[in-house]
Amino acid sequence: MGQQSQSLLRHLPSVDQLLSSPQGHELVSVYGRSLTVEAVRATIDQTRQLILGEELTAVPEPVYFTQSAESWLADLIAPSLQPVINATGVIVHTNLGRAPLSQASLDAIQEVGQGYSNLEFDLESGQRGSRTTHPDIPLKQLLDAEASLVVNNNAAAVLLMLTALCQGKEVIISRGQLVEIGGGFRIPDVMAQSGAKIVEVGTTNRTHLYDYERAINENTGAILVAHHSNYKIIGFTSEPPLEELAKLAQSHQILLLYDQGSGALLDTTPFGIPSEVRVPEGLAAGCDIVAFSGDKLLGGPQAGIISGRGDLVQIIKKHPLARAVRADKFCLAGLTTTLGHYIKNEALTQIPVWRMISMPKDDIHALLTQWQHKLSKQGVQSEIDENVSTVGGGSLPGTSIDTWVLAINTNHPQKVANRLRSEKLSIISRIQDGRLLLDPRTVLPQHIEKLHQSLVHCTL
């Protein structure tokens, strides 16, 4: 170490010196003493390293240290959960927070969050009310179910349904449906957790009605049908339709429970996605209870919805576990508003997930032509390529929607992708075959300008 460095080190301010400066006092009054000490110490250490590396030739003024400490503290307490721009083309992206909410749903959440609400208060009688009633009317209207209960998420819905209705009883399930949905949610584990006894029938690719029938005995509580979600068996496969299972269950006086998963209320076939059993169809087919997510294809906040026979929903509502997994006021406000979009027949225009699914390919091309033109004027060259968007979220396995993507001309796609990710508003892009791709289908309109600025900033 050079002589100069040594003498600089001797002139570094002490922690006490910085704390007793007016700026130091101010920081202590905002952040408290122990955090401020940590922050000041960190900035002194950092400066010491710079001096040792001979990157500094003078000791900065004391205000430099307190200012650095202040930004260190601000970073420390900034929420680590922050918005990102999803340019991956995966619509219900589980790692990126699944469904973006409609404006009206966000407004409803804000209104309820700002003050008090009638969450559990009956405004007519002035007596205690029930939080579970708030989404009742739209759910009844949309599903034609006798009763429904909204809980924290669909994993909780399935656990609660099985615990309340099948604890200690046998539940029959096809081997083809013993799936892991993701994040460690495995159907057999949840069944075991509920206290139900799993009875596996059939084979991975084929399960017949008679497989179920042979497994029924006096201890059987229910047949559980679970949506395959993120996984698909193709080729020589078969599973009995829900209608046949419903008849079988009814004739043996056992329940048919359906974990529908995605919460699809609309037909996906007009958008080139193979049809799946929608929630109302599952109920109409004779399922006693259907459980589904609020934040996959339904496009609402995180929620699990249990719908079906009134007497069974009553039993579920009264189970102690129901309290442990109950939905909060933000969920109830957002979900009820999202459901309202379906009733008003405006889901395709108001619910972001459906707006993205239904976005015509030609519109995407037109949008990309604008992007390409604009970016090119700022020095970012790109090509418009054919590609596919996916629904994601463990919904609709193997299904994709034809789309156009912007492929950025760069020799360092990974480096640019990393830079885009470390922007203040992070951009999550896709790298495929060594190319950096942006799918506009999942980019929200209010983020387009920012995306362009970042592209210019990160590629040049």
Ligand X SMILES: *Cc1c(COP(=O)(O)O)cnc(C)c1O
Which residue, chain included where needed, has tokens 């010196």? 17
Q: Which of 153, 220, 382, 403 binds ligand X (CB under 6 A)?
A: 153
Distance CA 243, CA 250 (A): 11
DSSP characters over 410-458: -S-HHHHHHHHHTSSSEEE-EEETTEEEE-GGGS-GGGHHHHHHHHHHH
Q: Where in 200-259 is the site for ligand X (CB under 6 A)?
A: 226-227, 229, 259
Q: Which of 154, 194, 220, 403 binds ligand X (CB under 6 A)?
A: 154
Quick one: 40 or 298, whose CB is closer to ligand X?
298
Phi/psi for 323 (5° steps) reads: -65, -40
Which residue, chain included where needed, has tokens 């506009």? 440
Closest distance to ligand X from the beta carbon of 121 (Å): 28
Distance CA 153, CA 331 (A): 10
Quick one: 109 or 151, whose CB is closer to ligand X?
151
Closest distance to ligand X from the beta carbon of 454 (Å): 30
Q: Which of 158, 273, 359, 443 binds ligand X (CB under 6 A)?
A: 158
Distance CA 88, CA 81 (A): 19
397 binds ligand X per the rule CB under 6 A: no
Token pair of 10 as six digits: 């001797």
Closest distance to ligand X from the beta carbon of 162 (Å): 12
Closest distance to ligand X from the beta carbon of 327 (Å): 12
394 binds ligand X per the rule CB under 6 A: yes
Quick one: 276 or 439, whose CB is closer to ligand X?
276
Closest distance to ligand X from the beta carbon of 259 (Å): 5
Quick one: 185 or 330, whose CB is closer to ligand X?
185
387 binds ligand X per the rule CB under 6 A: no
Please give the residue whose beta carbon sits closest to ligand X in the complex.
Answer: 261
Q: Which stretch binds ligand X (CB under 6 A): 35-43, 115-123, 148-156, 436-444?
A: 148-156
Contacts of 92 (CB under 8 A, 6+ apart): 98, 99, 295, 296, 297, 353, 391, 392, 393, 395
Closest distance to ligand X from the beta carbon of 203 (Å): 20
185 binds ligand X per the rule CB under 6 A: yes
What is the sign of the dihedral through the CA atoms of 390, 394, 395 and 397?
positive
Distance CA 33, CA 133 (A): 48
293 binds ligand X per the rule CB under 6 A: yes
Quick one: 265 or 380, whose CB is closer to ligand X?
265
Q: Which of 19, 149, 155, 245 binds ligand X (CB under 6 A)?
A: 155
Quick one: 255 or 305, whose CB is closer to ligand X?
305
Closest distance to ligand X from the beta carbon of 216 (Å): 23
Which residue, chain included where needed, has tokens 């619910």? 351
Site map for ligand X, 104-143, x if CB under 6 A?
----------------------------------------
Task: Answer yes or no: are the C-beta atoms of 139 and 339 closer than 8 Å.
Answer: yes
Side-by-side strand order, sheet with 430-432: 382-390, 400-408, 435-438, 430-432
Quick one: 27 or 181, whose CB is closer to ligand X?
181
N-terminal to C-terminal alpha carbon distance within the chain: 38
Quick one: 155 or 191, whose CB is closer to ligand X?
155
Q: Is 78 exposed, middle or buried (0-12, 13-18, 19+ CB in 10 A)?
A: exposed
| Element spanning 149, H or E | strand 147-151
Task: Answer yes or no: are the C-beta atoms of 223 and 240 closer than 8 Å.
Answer: no
Quick one: 169 or 227, whose CB is closer to ligand X?
227
300 binds ligand X per the rule CB under 6 A: no
Quick one: 27 or 150, whose CB is closer to ligand X?
150
Closest distance to ligand X from the beta carbon of 59 (Å): 54
Task: Answer yes or no: are the C-beta atoms of 395 and 261 closer than 8 Å.
Answer: yes
Number of residues that bind ligand X (CB under 6 A): 15
Query: Of 238, 182, 178, which Cα lies nearest the Cα of 210?
Result: 238
Quick one: 391 or 420, whose CB is closer to ligand X?
391
299 binds ligand X per the rule CB under 6 A: no
Binding site for ligand X (CB under 6 A): 153-155, 158, 181, 185, 226-227, 229, 259, 261-262, 293, 304, 394
